[in-house]
Amino acid sequence: MSQDQKRELIIETAIRRFAHYGVSKTTMSEIAKDLSFSKALLYYYFPDKMHLVGAILEHISEQNMIEYNSISAETNDPREAIQLFLEKRTDFIIKYWNIIEFVLEFKNEKYPPELITIFENLKRKELGQITSLIESGKKQGVFKIENSKKVAEMYLDFLIGYRKYYGSIHSNIIPDKKMFLAVLKKEKEFSVIFLNGLTCSAD
């Protein structure tokens, strides 16, 4: 087994354990035991659990993007593609909430250095994805805009801001699928209004 294959196997095994038990309740020793690896070998690839979490975030985000691109390729309507983007984004959050929740626990503290670059890259990729969808609508004449990236930044700011707001007013409730779907419903309603505005205005 090559080093890349071993690294991939560690990530896949950790994802299953983290998604089921949560990150905080999982130890590196348990992951090593699942793999029949020594702890020394596990630490060779990932010096600590936070580095492993970072690698997992990159991995699952990349897989989610690949799956979305496959689905969105079936439609030429940029508005429908954006709705699919929101649905896939919500599916991702629901599926990996135990992992995402662990990361969000650092919201009032300084994020560990190993996560900062990863977060920046993930946000840049998400922005690029939305920009591409809006640019496609612009080229088709669906959206009457000048700067697709500027519009995409405004749209993404709402998505991030609304989720934070919703989380703050329901901070005393344990998030569940129903709550995530409630957020998705609002995001879709906003998208219709926002995207309709792009059909009759210019920057």
**Other residues' Cβ atoms within 10 Å of the Cβ of residue 178:** 7
Report the pLDDT value the prediction gives residue 203, as an integer from 0 to 100.
Answer: 44
| pTM for this prediction | 0.84
**163 vs 183: CA distance, rounded Å:** 7
Contact between 31 and 17 under an 8 Å Cβ cutoff? The reply is: yes
**What structural domains does the chain harbor?**
1-47 (1.10.10.60), 49-198 (1.10.357.10)
Residue (of 164, 177, 162, 184) closest to 83 by Cα position: 184
Instruction: Supply the DSSP symbol for 73.
Output: T
Report the pLDDT value the prediction gives residue 116, as an integer from 0 to 100.
Answer: 83
**Other residues' Cβ atoms within 10 Å of the Cβ of residue 113:** 9
pLDDT per residue rounded down to tens, the chain (203 residues): 788 899 999 999 999 999 888 898 999 999 999 999 999 999 999 999 989 999 999 999 999 989 898 888 889 899 999 999 999 999 999 999 888 888 877 655 667 777 788 888 888 999 999 999 999 999 999 999 999 999 999 999 999 999 888 888 887 787 788 999 999 999 999 999 999 999 865 44
- The continuous run of DSSP H or E covering 189 comes out as helix 177-198
pLDDT per position as a tens digit, 38-89: 999 999 999 999 899 999 999 999 999 898 988 888 898 999 999 999 999 9
User: Residue 134: which residues within 8 A CB-CB, separation 6 or more?
Assistant: 78, 82, 143, 145, 148, 151, 152, 155, 198
